[in-house]
Amino acid sequence: MATLLAPVGSGALAQGVDTGQAFRTIEQGISAGRLLLYPSITLDSIYNDNVLYQSAEIPGTELVSSGELVLAPKIMVDLPLSRSRLRFAYSPQYRDYSSDQFVQSEHFSHFFDLEASVRVGDALTLALREHYARGTQEVQQFDPGGEVRFGLVPFSLSEPSAEISLAFGGRHRFAVMPRLSTLKFDDRIEAGFYDYLRRGLTGRYSYRLDDMTEVYGAYAREHTDQDRETSFFGEVDVDTRYAGAGLQRSFAGAVVASASAGYETQAYEGGAGQDFAGLVYDVNLAWTASDVYRFELNARRQPYQSFFVNNNYYLSHGLRLRMAQQIGRSAFWQVGVGLQQNRYADPVEIGVTPETPPGSDLDNNGLVDAYESLFPSQGLLRQDRTLTLEMGVGFRFSQVLRLSVGYTHAARDSNIEQTLVPGETFEPFDFTVNRIFLRIEAGIL
């Protein structure tokens, strides 16, 4: 059943490779000596009625609709070596649009994942990992909360990490996990986001209740150096701490249930808003009923660092439900719904203060020039709400060929208003996007 009941959402290629899916496969690889090879290629043909995720209310703006072609070959290599293992996956992606109104800065994106693990004796395991992305539109790679809707400025993201794990007593395991993350844009001024350097360290103790269930406690600390191309904020440093616990239940090597909850703080130095302290959680459940139906639920509460005016962060609440049904041995259909609400911590403040850098109010009207168009929203706490609907059907013609057809609808509503001077008031962060897609997957999947 798991062979067929896999998500067919059209956003996967549009947003790039999911790091959690980079090495997932359900087929036997091609043997080449000690190597196992998993070659595949995916073709997406998409119609999008709002390519730029623009608001229909912006004066003088016409929404750009277009056909979209995405071609994504992928090679995954698995090299088991006695008590060690080396895996890597590489996927270049070519994207092209049919509309003359849309001009791409780059047609190609690149995604690379590496994992090397070595088991030393019966207790000690060492692992090294790297996730690298070079893209333009794949904004969820660096902004999973969705503050950034769309991007055309090329960026490079590198996320190396390590894990030193010690098992003892048969059920106990302690792990130390250092990590590093760097984001760099080719043009920070046009990017609408910031470069950053992020360093983190996590310690985790886990206890295995049985062969399928593990509980754990964790403590993590992370430091982010934001590099903003603006004199109003300059550099912002963020110190994040987390303490929490979780549970993970697996079956046949695949996680079918996981839940974590904890307390997180984010302390900002150089920003203009509040710090965060509060509850965070992430719950994922998957239930397969009678080998025909599969139900999935995801709920989360997580703060994300913000790039909006005088806010340091926003708090994101998300809920997603999905149901799939297998039809016979070679087809299935699925439907899903997602709800997300992002709440910002500080009211919009665009007035000049004693801390405002010189030159920020050249017209001497008491408002920061860069944010003056947001005057209708002065004093508001920004709230964004997004509804996502998806439906699709999938067919498996053979072990190496699949086809899926689907539709997704996303609509975001925000309470922030903007105005042109002189001009009318509009809501720049509202948008509606409809996507119809046809996907063909071939190879060892």
Residue-level pLDDT at 59: 83
> In the predicted model, is pLDDT for residue 399 greater than 90?
no
Number of DSSP helices (H) and strands (E) in the chain, helices first:
2, 21
Residue-level pLDDT at 230: 61
3-state class percentages of the chain: helix first, strand second, coil last, to nearest 5: 5, 60, 35
Residue-level pLDDT at 1: 39
Q: 311, 336, 363: which is closest to 145 by C-alpha?
A: 311
Domains, the chain: 11-443 (2.40.170)
The pLDDT-based confidence of 149 (bands split at 50, 70, 90) is: confident
Residue-level pLDDT at 254: 59
The whole-model pTM stands at 0.90
Q: How far is CA 287 from the centre of its chain?
A: 24
Q: How far is CA 7 from the centre of its chain?
A: 16
Q: Which position has the higher pLDDT, 101 or 37? A: 37
Stretch among 23-32, 206-215, 260-269, 390-399 having the lowest mean pLDDT: 23-32
Q: 60, 70, 119: which is closest to 93 by C-alpha?
A: 70
Q: What is the mean pLDDT of residues 83-109?
A: 92
For residue 166, which amino acid is it?
Answer: L
Residue-level pLDDT at 4: 52
Q: Which position has the higher pLDDT, 166 or 105? A: 166
Write out pLDDT tens, residues 274-285. Answer: 999 999 999 999
Q: What is the mean pLDDT of residues 142-162?
A: 94
Residue-level pLDDT at 10: 41
Alpha-carbon gap, residue 281 to 272, rounded angstroms = 26
**Do 310 and 272 form a contact (C-beta atoms < 8 A)?**
yes
Q: Which position has the higher pLDDT, 105 or 336? A: 336
Q: Which position has the higher pLDDT, 381 or 18? A: 381
> In the predicted model, is pLDDT for residue 185 greater than 90?
yes
- Whole-number percent of the chain with pLDDT over 70: 93
Q: Which position has the higher pLDDT, 24 or 268? A: 268
> In the predicted model, is pLDDT for residue 118 greater than 50?
yes
**Count of C-beta atoms within a 10 Å radius of residue 429:** 19
The pLDDT-based confidence of 19 (bands split at 50, 70, 90) is: low
- Residue carrying the six token digits 């910002």: 344
Alpha-carbon gap, residue 445 to 269, rounded angstroms = 46
DSSP string, 260-293: EEEEEEEEEES-SS--EEEEEEEEEEEEEETTTE
Secondary structure of 126-157 as H, E, C letters: EEEEEEEEEECCCHHHCCCCCCCCCCCCCEEE
> In the predicted model, is pLDDT for residue 253 greater than 80?
no
Residue-level pLDDT at 60: 80
Write out pLDDT tens, residues 154-177. Answer: 999 999 999 999 999 889 999 999
